[in-house]
Structure 1
Amino acid sequence: MYIPRNIDSELENWRVAKLRKPLLLRGARQVGKSAAVRQCAQKFDFFIELNFDENPRYKGIFEQNLGIDEIIELIQAATNTPLVPGKTLLFLDEIQTCIPAISSLRYFYEKAPDLHVIAAGSLLEFVLSEIPSFGVGRIRSLFMYPLDFEEFLGAFNEQILLKTLRNASPEKPLPDLLHDKLKYYFKRFLVVGGMPEVVRNYAQNNDILETQRVIDDLIVSFESDFAKYKNRVPVARIREVFNAVVRQTGAQFTYSYPQATLTNVQIKEALDLLQRAGLAHSVTHSAANGLPIGAEINSKKRKWMLFDTGIMQRILGLSIGDLLLEDTLEVINKGAIAEQHVALELIKSQSPYQQVQLYYWHRDAKSSQAEIDFVVQKHSDIIPVEVKAGSRGSMQSMYIFLKEKQSRYGIRFSLENFSSLPSIMVFPLYAVKNAMHTQVPQT
């Protein structure tokens, strides 16, 4: 069972383009990169997949310092498949284990531009960081993540519900019946998460307890990968910081967490490794006085979000019953899972051709403290975003930000239906993409 992904349309646009560059699919392990390429391959007459991890002998094709014509000849001979421009898709999988193959991508662009070439790999970021200018201007990167909520709905063939959701807005709220149905799916999305294997299992078997066992398997595999991150960093060190990120989700990360055994430098190094592996995303403090938002950051103030809510809730041992049955998320790890969900949906709603940076705002005044969960840019506006784990909550920080920064409006995510308040647009937690793509209100 293949779950349709947003990336499918990008791959199709690349396939039919007259001018194209080799694609490099980047993202954490098990997010569906290989499956998406194989789905795209169905549009070609021929498909060649070289997996350097499963068959290390393929590395020899690229390690002999040969020209592209000779490489193409060897690939055809090794796979008994023709490499025909416009008709064959060449897929170089687990390419991080063959650095010469990464270097060859630029020469495919220069010497064989009519060929369709896609490369992908897990832990690819570690290799790319050590290859200066590996293909600037000659290779196009596509960043891939676990499923977003809309893709999750697609796994259950809820196309009509999805279309209705996409058409909803604060000016056009949903009927209560559909709002309740989407909340039903949303709560299950928090529990299941967006890892394709887990979602596929749940869609086919409708057994949420079995999905927890699948998540357990994934957690074991991710922790096994810690040894591959960097040879001189002990696995125990990375695991300690990984667990600290899980426990501190939704709060400014503190290096003096309980049972900490590491120095600040060691913790920062482990955080960097987790981010490169795609397992954690940073949310950095910004003064948010103007564009770009990243121009006034304080890198000492950061929140860290795990890359998947399903994995987070499993590690924390959150009550599945509370997640599914309660009409508020506030009593569940203080609502941090709602903030994590919004962070991940904000990342997934942006262009897949760039790595997304997230920011938040905090004012620590003696008489008036205020914090905004996220600040995002929409066109030339800086928009404050607040996340409420229930259907109510004070908006004091939002109004302080709006007045101080002279922003035209803010966005609030909660379990409420679509609606609006003075200078604030209200979106359900399941409709982050709607908020990012909605028309900016006119003054």
Structure 2
Amino acid sequence: MRMLFDADLSVERLIPALSIESGTRITPEDTLVIFDEVQEVPRAMTSLKMFNEAAPEYDVLATGSALGIAMHLGFSFPVGKVSRLKLYPMSFVEFLYACKQYALAEMLESKDFPLINVMHDRVMTWLRYFMYTGGMPEIVEAFASTLPNPDFTAVRKLQNSLVSDYRDDFSKHVDMRDSPAVTTLRLNQVWDSIPSQLAKENKKFVYGVVRAGGRGKDFESAIQWLVDASLALRVNRVSAPLEPLAAYADGSAFKLYSLDVGLLGALGGLNVRVLLEGDALFREFKGSIAEQFVCQQLTMMNGHSPYYWSAENSSGELDFLFEGNGKAVPVEVKEGTHRQTKSLVIMQKRHGYPLAYRFSADRYRDVGPIRDVPLYMAGIV
């Protein structure tokens, strides 16, 4: 394929060649052309411009590693000629569908809270499964295939294998303008530090946790690399919890989450025993498993990571903020069924937010200006 795309990119040449290679007659009416692992042949990405301009009747889909596509240098990207779709790990509702829990998934999507409250304990069981398994498709498939007696050992084995694959990607796609060994080391150090960063009391990313004496200039490029490659979610602090949130973003302070709650558990060595201990799972890593889940769900809903707010000279903090209908919406994530949220109450009174969410392991309750919502409804409400 590299030889094919290194030459003329005219559609008149490519279509017959792709037909021969695939053994399939390609016709505009009923054929979808898929360039899988497109980062391995960057000029295949460039050819999308030719398909768009000269042969728009053909449907072409390019898929590949975000890391490889983001880091390839020296080729022309067809700006304005392709529609980009970002794939995330599966959401909790998608996980339920994959596990053939259709009625539960449809119930959550309907937002029928009286019924949801009745079925709360059942949904919480599946949420614990999801928080351990995560939403990576192959891992979900392995989990679902062993039901009704899920094989969590197989799940963890696949998670560890996927983590190893990502580490291999680090070394394969390092920027050769820096020392490959140093860049790979720093990527691994930052990624490995995410569980311990989130277990900190204020969860703000601290370079010294990555490496003793570490400074921002040592790890900034590695952090940006992981974010660009969709392997980490960066949540920036805002100096004021007001809209538009982007105008108050403070890039010097941020939290870093994993791309997937299941992989966060694997990186942190989460023991499967927590699935048997009630709400213990939500308290692991000082509640960061629950925060990771909510961050993922909000990111899927908005298409970008939310923000957070912390006071300059006090302990006040809002776990997340996102914009809904042009208004800032504050979010607090509580461990277990704990509902004491002093910061949220104070900020609600001060700024009069029309809507505020408090996610916990408890049932739904809509009383006053702060809406108590079960964790599993994050990204749905």
- Please name the residue that 1:44 is paired with: none
- Please name the residue that 2:33 is paired with: 90
- Please name the residue that 1:273 is paired with: 225
What is the CA–CA distance in structure 2 between the aligned matches of 1:265 and 1:304, rounded to whole Å?
A: 17
- Please name the residue that 1:180 is paired with: 121
8 Å CA contact 2:235–2:307 kept in 1: the answer is yes
- Please name the residue that 1:62 is paired with: 5
Q: What SS does structure 1 have at the residue aligned with 2:379?
A: helix
The structural deviation recorded for 1:96 is 1.0
What is the CA–CA distance in structure 2 between the aligned matches of 1:264 and 1:79, rounded to whole Å?
A: 49
- Asked if 1:298 is matched to 2:250, the reply is yes
Deviations 1:303-340 (A, max 9, x none): 00011111111221123212442224454211111001
8 Å CA contact 2:359–2:372 kept in 1: the answer is yes
What is the CA–CA distance in structure 2 between the aligned matches of 1:280 and 1:165, rounded to whole Å?
A: 27
- Asked if 1:212 is matched to 2:161, the reply is no
Report the count of equivalent residues.
Answer: 369
Give the number of the structure whose residues are more often helix, by fraction. 2
Q: What SS does structure 1 have at the residue aligned with 2:357?
A: strand
In structure 2, do the counterparts of structure 1 residues 341 and 252 end up closer, same or farther at CA, with 3 Å as the change threshold? same
The structural deviation recorded for 1:261 is 6.4
Query: Mind listing any 5+ residue stretches in structure 1 that lack a counterpart?
Result: 1-57, 436-443
- Asked if 1:239 is matched to 2:185, the reply is no
Residues 335-350 of structure 1 correspond to what in structure 2 (within 5 A)?
335-350=287-302
In structure 2, do the counterparts of structure 1 residues 182 and 130 end up closer, same or farther at CA, with 3 Å as the change threshold? farther
What is the CA–CA distance in structure 1 between the aligned matches of 2:120 and 2:282, rounded to whole Å?
A: 19
Q: What SS does structure 2 have at the residue aligned with 1:146?
A: coil
Deviations 1:352-397 (A, max 9, x none): xxx513211111235xx31001111110211100001211132211
Query: Mind listing any 5+ residue stretches in structure 2 that lack a counterpart?
Result: none
The structural deviation recorded for 1:65 is 2.7
- Please name the residue that 1:146 is paired with: 89
8 Å CA contact 1:96–1:127 kept in 2: the answer is no
8 Å CA contact 1:173–1:419 kept in 2: the answer is no
In structure 2, do the counterparts of structure 1 residues 164 and 331 end up closer, same or farther at CA, with 3 Å as the change threshold? closer
Q: What SS does structure 2 have at the residue aligned with 1:141?
A: coil
8 Å CA contact 1:169–1:427 kept in 2: the answer is no
Residues 399-408 or 203-212, more deviating: 399-408
- Please name the residue that 1:108 is paired with: 51
Q: What amino acid is the match of 1:374? A: F
Q: What SS does structure 2 have at the residue aligned with 1:224?
A: helix
- Please name the residue that 1:283 is paired with: 235
8 Å CA contact 1:126–1:229 kept in 2: the answer is no
Q: What SS does structure 2 have at the residue aligned with 1:317?
A: coil
- Please name the residue that 1:412 is paired with: 358
Residues 403-412 or 265-274, more deviating: 403-412
8 Å CA contact 2:68–2:173 kept in 1: the answer is no
RMSD across aligned positions (CA): 2.0
Q: Which of 1 and 2 has higher RCO (CA within 8 Å, sep 6+)?
A: 1
Identity, % of aligned pairs? 28
What is the CA–CA distance in structure 2 between the aligned matches of 1:427 and 1:337, rounded to whole Å?
A: 17
Q: What amino acid is the match of 2:374? A: P
The structural deviation recorded for 1:257 is 1.2
- Asked if 1:333 is matched to 2:285, the reply is yes
Q: What amino acid is the match of 1:243? A: D
- Please name the residue that 1:356 is paired with: 304
8 Å CA contact 2:190–2:219 kept in 1: the answer is yes
8 Å CA contact 1:169–1:434 kept in 2: the answer is no
